[in-house]
Amino acid sequence: MVIAASDSREEEIRKFINEVAEICLSDEFINLKHELESLYFKNGIENALLTAFQDALFSILAQREGIRSNKKLIY
């Protein structure tokens, strides 16, 4: 059976969306986002809410990717 490239790409996107949704609902993300919002507001960062959201999401995604990369190196 041949799987079309678009199907595998769609599956990859769905997995990524599921991971992002899982992160955004986690206590870790919510706590980090609130902490960053507070810091950014105190320091007059423009678009503090959006920037805090982006930074918290990026941080957790990068952390997870680092963990996945380390697991690949160990095995």
**pLDDT tens sequence across 34-52:** 999 999 999 999 999 999 9
Q: What is the DSSP string of 1-68?
A: -PPPHHHHHHHHHHHHHHHHHHHHTSHHHHHHHHHHHHHHHHTT-TTHHHHHHHHHHHHHHHHHHHHH
Question: What is the pTM assigned to this prediction?
Answer: 0.78
**Mean per-residue pLDDT, 12-39:** 97
Q: d(Cα 63, Cα 60) in Å, to the nearest integer?
A: 5
